[in-house]
Structure 1
């Protein structure tokens, strides 16, 4: 069974501390944050976006999953119009097709502006996926 949103609290706190340190460490602009994660990191990225959607400008889920989310939260459309890329490996043995489909539906139900891509690969991002990811970022950098 996939973890509920509440199971991400400790990881969320660690990411919050890291993000808070970015301006001092790298002179980062906290007004232009995007989230990207692979596998479990994608689950964390989705959890963060669902909990603090106004903090982030976009979301990338690479062969990952979405945490279990209460329908009441989804009804508020927390990711309304958030640019989101979801990449799925069709032969992924770690994130099987039903889980990927659930993740996709969660993002749709949350209101994300979803770009969904499937690739003939397992639990990784292949060359086509890397090209699509680069194009997605280029579209946002303009």
Structure 2
């Protein structure tokens, strides 16, 4: 049994007779643990899917952290959520016998902020990170410990007309990770603050590129 305080949905792959890849989903502000499942539906048969519910109530759903204004998470709350989320991933690896070389984190909005932070502090423990319409908080970029990302990759996407999280925030994240030496895929779409059908195809392809032997 998982000891983590997180509420989550777990979907197991068709076969669990050997170590399998896992995808961890982190939703956006005011949403819930069911929101992002459709993004990775094509990968359900071959991967464990863990979709986490943010720990903070925020109508009509939940949040992963509080903030004074967009772009500025409350530091003490954010620090704890990062610790808890990292611990959840490591615990799930043990509890569900996951393939440690194929761990993926997918986040949108607040979830993308958490996902990018985890990519930085967990380094190559996360094979692939998908950050949809997010950013890197300044205190994370400046103060958080970073681990090498030489065995990992990151997919960052942003809508060109995003007025919730400005487009320049997505560009800034891509530049930050490139400067850090990460393998960065940066995609933009003629959209607002959302996820287009093309965006979904691209993120699935980004993950599936590592899973050819399982998917075939």
Give, in whole Å, the separation in 2 of the partners of 1:139 and 1:64: 23
Q: What residue is the counterpart of 1:138 in the other structure?
A: 208
1:70 to 127, 130, 142: 142
SS class of match (2:113): helix
1:38 to 87, 103, 108: 108
Instruction: Identify unmatched segments of 5+ residues in structure 1.
Output: none
Identify the structure with the greater helix proportion.
Answer: 1
Contact 1:77 1:111 in 2 (8 A): no
- Deviation track 1:25-45 (CA, whole Å, cap 9, x = no partner) reads 533233432222111111111
The alpha carbon displacement at 1:16 in A equals 2.6
Identify the structure with the greater strand proportion.
Answer: 2
Moved over 6 A (4+): none
Change (3 A) 1:30 1:138: closer
Contact 1:33 1:56 in 2 (8 A): yes
With the length of structure 2 as denominator, give the TM-score of the two structures: 0.56
C-alpha RMSD of the superposition: 2.6
Instruction: Identify unmatched segments of 5+ residues in structure 2.
Output: 1-69
Give, in whole Å, the separation in 2 of the partners of 1:129 and 1:33: 20
Determine which structure has greater relative contact order: mean sequence separation of CA pairs < 8 Å that are 6+ residues apart, divided by chain length.
1
Change (3 A) 1:129 1:43: same
